Amino acid sequence: MSTQVPEQVEDESSAESVSPGKQKRDAKKRERAERLQEQREAEAAEKARTADDTYHLKVFRYDPEVEGKQEPRFDDFYVPYKQGMTVLDALMWARDHYDSSLTFRHSCRQAICGSDALFVNGSQRLGCKTQLSDLSEPVRVEPLPHADVVKDLVVDMEHFYDQMEAVEPYFQTNSLPDEDEEQRQTRENREKVKMSTRCIWCSACMSSCNIAAGDNEYLGPAAINKAYRFAMDEREGEEMKQRRLEILEQEHGVWRCQTQFSCTEVCPKDIPLTEHIQELKREAIKNNLKFW
Amino acid sequence: MYEHDVIVVGAGGAGLRAAIAAHEEGADVAIVSKLHPVRSHTGAAEGGINAALREGDSWEDHAYDTMKGSDYLGDAPAVETLCKDSPKETIQLEHWGMAFSRDDDGRVSQRPFGGLSFPRTTYAGAETGHQLLHTMYEQLVKRGIKVYDEWHVTRLAVSDEDDPEDRTCHGIVAYDVQTGKIEGFRARNGVILATGGLGQVYDHTTNAVANTGDGVAMAYRAGAPIEDMEFIQFHPTTLPSTGVLITEGVRGEGGILYNKHGERFMFEYGYANNLGELASRDVVSRAELTEVNEGRGIEDEYVHLDMRHLGEERIVDRLENIIHLSEDFEGVNPLEAPMPVKPGQHYAMGGVETDENGETCITGLYAAGECACASVHGGNRLGGNALPELIVFGKRAGHHAAGKDMKTAEITTGKVGDYEPADVESPVQLGEAGLGGDAVADGGERTDGGATADLSGDEVVQRALDDERETIEHLLEKEDGIQHAEIRERVQKSMTQHVNVFREEEALKDALRDIREARELYQDVYVADKSRTFNTDLLQTLETRNILDIAEAITVGALARNEFRGAHWRKEYQERRDEEWLKHTMLSWNDGEPELWYKPVILEGENKTYEPKIRSY
């Protein structure tokens, strides 16, 4: 990840042609905008002060190129509480009312895009799915451990993506019906792979895994689960399953897992990750494949 | 400068399908997206994919349902293309391994959905969009297609001939969120916009935070007309506190809506005597709000959606994630209590005007998916028709942009032939604040007064890049002013208050006044975060500009359309007025001074003409 500052671009705009009238209007506009901004900040502080209930957040801050943020620190935010408020809601409120530079990934707000896995009070959780009322104060919000921090709560996801893509994460089969006919799959088999297809690539599991922390080449729970999703899908066929097991029983594959269940505990989609890994180990033995 | 044959902007269902299609045709294709592909909001789609796959069903029936659902504002060539191509494209997804729900015989499951005459909504639990998105991303990885993820596209590089129909799109300018770099991307063949929804124009929406209508706004400012923007679908079942969507599948499976007296109001108050809860979305949304307005809502805000009678086994089998959504985001266990629901902004039927091959009137500029308007959905989209639109039109745009020989489109784009000039009575000036009509094609001020028509493609991209760098540097260098969050919040509140399910003239005019004021405030916007690293403050400030242009377009269309059609309800005009309004509302940016015009709807299909009928369910 590069954090290099790009070269400044020369500002070529000139103010020569601006009429006095326009200057006056601009000044007025600016004044009004400043007034609005001050008003807004004062209102936010007042709201936080008078709310029946405020939540105290301690949020990790870091920016490699901003003075005062190059050394990581924690900032305190006091956010007025509303019934149903989540960690993500609180972060957004703090950003929109106190400090617009507070940075975190988020998009869908409903636990499907997988953008906002965070380290909240010492465990990996999705910010959007974590009710403030379930947490003790102050609520400590940190970026996911075992990943490089880009800025504030944003971590570099490249390593996670690389591992996901290392397991041939796409459907492969040697025989397909005609283009207007679907492959058959039993309800039982669909049920078997169902949980594994729920993964939203949030990387909470990878972040929680001690083995992944110590072995950078370990595929990690999410990637192995992705492989499980295909290996167990009867539509791929037996030949493809063998090939997938070969990928998984390599040195940094399933045998690295020490069944600590941390991934299963933090998975926001309740995927039984450890069980899936164990099942793949059993399959590998059954097939009498070499292992490390 | 980066260079590819085809550049796809956005990586949801339409963008991924377009990229795969272009790749199939041998093009060097790349995706540029402000989110990593798996973060796209296609993943939130729950219900399913309408496709006439089974005996007893036909594409003709699907087309009839779609046209009726559109309230006769869909264009027949686009509607029929959707319905004919959908079965094959749905099976294609299955061949790519998508985990559809299955029947006992092992075939993909289908279920009933609102407004459909046959249970043709093909689904994967209540997470069809998630399965579709991940399946297509897998295919992208398989093909090794290049993705520039977390790059926010800020403008199109389009030449600036007087008539948009003469212009050419040569590429894009994008901002790398991670590093702060601003770069030009040259597209040798074409640019495909697949930027999705615009729900952030409203403050209660099922849409993601990223759905700020970027593609629609960029194409609009580059000169491509935008079509039927006033048609916004409000989904009748969203959770009140967050806007999280509860799929129509709940009603498809037999879920029932009750008011506070426990009355099944869809029937008891005659909103839809035949289909009840499965009437089209606009009908159900208005019914719910009418219940609330007449004092029969719960806590004066919402109604109840009850599915307990379906039994735990069936709910867990077919709608499992609804249990999680309701518990996590509303604190209600739907196996034990009815879920509170109310209408929320859900989908934009309008968008960038395209033909059935995804082409806009600007050469080399395409749009597909929710940001486009072909028009498939007309005045109202049927549930289960958004996902097939992504795969059908994403693919067609990808193929066309890659140079595949395709049948000439029947739909025309741009101001050609049979168009009708129009006017709207706005209480305020519309369009760009602070510009006197001297904007270049893509929105900035003319820097040297010269046209870019004679420049090479590379030079057009370079020019757009230079302008954009200047704009962004200005935002970052400016030390004080107003921050975008204040402006965005004002617009969102005004839109939800004034341009919602129920619309009336004075309220619409109030919204235009609010938007004008917000535009003027935006003249003085600044970005407090000066960092080049992952500057979301800057990103959101750029998005807010798009929100302004789109909010205005929606409101202008709503004010102009003096009738009640599909999702567009007007207090003063309580009827669909076919003699006058079988036409699309078109808005052209016109270098910063928006111009309204109309073009006729096409009701002549391949084998039949769709005669407008009363849309009752």
DSSP secondary structure of chain A: ---PPPPPPP-----TT--HHHHHHHHHHHHHHHHHHHHHHHHHHHHHHHSS-EEEEEEEE--TTSTTTSS-EEEEEEEE--TT-BHHHHHHHHHHHT-TT------SSSSSS---EEEETTEEEEGGG-BGGGSPSSEEEEPPTTS-EEETTEE--HHHHHHHHTT--S---S----TTSPPP--HHHHHHHHGGGG-----HHHHH-HHHHH-TT---HHHHHHHHHHHT-GGG-HHHHHHHHHHHTSTTSGGG-----HHHHH-TT---HHHHHHHHHHHHHHTT----
Q: Give the CA-trace dihedral at B272, B273, B277, B282, to 10 degrees.
A: -10
> How far apart are alpha carbons B383 and B66 in whole angstroms?
10
pLDDT at A6: 33
pLDDT at B455: 87
Residue at B418 is within a domain: no
DSSP state of B525: B
C-alpha neighbours within 13 Å on the C-beta side of residue A10: 2
- Tell me, yes or no, whether B318 and B355 share the same domain: no
Q: How far is A206 from chain B (nearest CA, A)?
A: 17
Domain boundary among B343, B370, B389: B343
Q: Which residue of A has its CA nearest to B143?
A: A170
> How far apart are alpha carbons B303 and B560 in whole angstroms?
32
pLDDT at A26: 66
CB pairs under 8 A between A and B: 207
Q: pLDDT tens track of chain A, all 292 residues?
A: 332 333 333 344 444 455 666 667 667 766 777 777 777 777 777 776 666 689 999 999 999 999 889 999 999 999 999 877 899 999 999 999 999 999 999 999 999 999 999 999 999 999 999 989 899 999 999 999 999 999 999 999 999 999 999 999 999 999 999 989 999 999 999 999 999 999 999 999 999 999 999 999 999 999 999 999 999 999 999 999 999 999 998 889 999 999 999 999 999 999 999 999 999 999 988 876 554 4
CATH number at residue B245: 3.90.700.10
CATH number at residue B50: 3.50.50.60
| Domain count for chain B | 2
For B266, the domain range is 235-343
* C-alpha closest to that of B126 among B323, B306, B258: B323
Residue at B524 is within a domain: no
Asked if the model's pLDDT at residue B330 lies above 90, the reply is: no
Residue at B171 is within a domain: yes
Residue at B446 is within a domain: no
Grouping H, G, I as helix, E, B as strand and the rest as coil, residue B572 is coil
Cα A66 to Cα A89, B151, B452, distances in angstroms? 26, 22, 39
DSSP state of B532: S
Least confident of A23-27, B349-353, B400-404, B598-602: A23-27
Interface test with B, best of A170, A176, A230 (most B CBs within 10 A): A170
Domain boundary among B290, B323, B343: B343
ipTM of this predicted structure: 0.92
Model-wide pTM > 0.90: yes
The CB density around residue B497, as the number of other CB atoms within 10 Å, is 14
Please report which confidence band the pLDDT of residue B21 belongs to, taking 50, 70 and 90 as the band edges: very high
Least confident of A16-25, B31-40, B123-132, B494-503: A16-25
Helices B76-95, B59-69: inter-axial angle, 10-degree rounding: 120
Interface test with B, best of A93, A160, A168, A182 (most B CBs within 10 A): A182
Residue at B119 is within a domain: yes
Residue at B537 is within a domain: no
Active-site choice (B281, B318, B545, B615): B281
CB contact under 8 A, A109 and B208: yes
Sequence spans of domains, chain A: 36-154, 158-174+188-286
Residue B368 in contact with residue B397, Cβ under 8 Å?
A: yes
- Tell me, yes or no, whether B319 and B388 share the same domain: no
CB contact under 8 A, B531 and A65: yes
Q: Which residue of B has its CA nearest to A187?
A: B102
- Tell me, yes or no, whether B55 and B198 share the same domain: yes
Six token digits for residue B70: 């559109």
pLDDT in tens, B419-439: 999 999 999 999 988 754 334
- Tell me, yes or no, whether B242 and B219 share the same domain: no
- Tell me, yes or no, whether B117 and B264 share the same domain: no
> How far apart are alpha carbons B303 and B258 in whole angstroms?
6
pLDDT in tens, B588-601: 999 899 999 999 99
Q: Which residue of B has its CA nearest to A7?
A: B181
- Identify all chain A residues contacting B485, using CB atoms and an 8 Å cutoff: 95-97, 100
CB contact under 8 A, B524 and A33: yes
In CATH terms, the fold of domain A36-154 is: Ubiquitin-like (UB roll) (3.10.20)
CATH no. of A158-174+188-286 = 1.10.1060.10
- Tell me, yes or no, whether B143 and B165 share the same domain: yes
Residue at B301 is within a domain: yes
- Tell me, yes or no, whether B187 and B55 share the same domain: yes
pLDDT in tens, B437-491: 334 444 444 444 445 667 899 999 999 999 999 999 999 999 999 999 999 999 9
Q: Which residue of A has its CA nearest to B108?
A: A182
Domain boundary among B366, B386, B404: B404
- Identify all chain A residues contacting B243, using CB atoms and an 8 Å cutoff: 109
- Tell me, yes or no, whether B16 and B136 share the same domain: yes
Least confident of A6-20, B72-86, B103-117, B232-246: A6-20
Residue at B611 is within a domain: no
Please report which confidence band the pLDDT of residue B359 belongs to, taking 50, 70 and 90 as the band edges: very high
CB contact under 8 A, B208 and A113: yes
Instruction: Tell whether B162 lies on the interface with A, counting CB pairs under 8 A.
Output: no
> How far apart are alpha carbons B146 and B32 in whole angstroms?
9
Sign of CA dihedral A259, B130, A129, A189: negative
- Tell me, yes or no, whether B303 and B353 share the same domain: no
pLDDT at B438: 39
Q: Which of A104, A106, A235 sits opposite B97 (nearest CB)?
A: A235
Annotated catalytic residue B314: no
Instruction: Tell whether B438 lies on the interface with A, counting CB pairs under 8 A.
Output: no
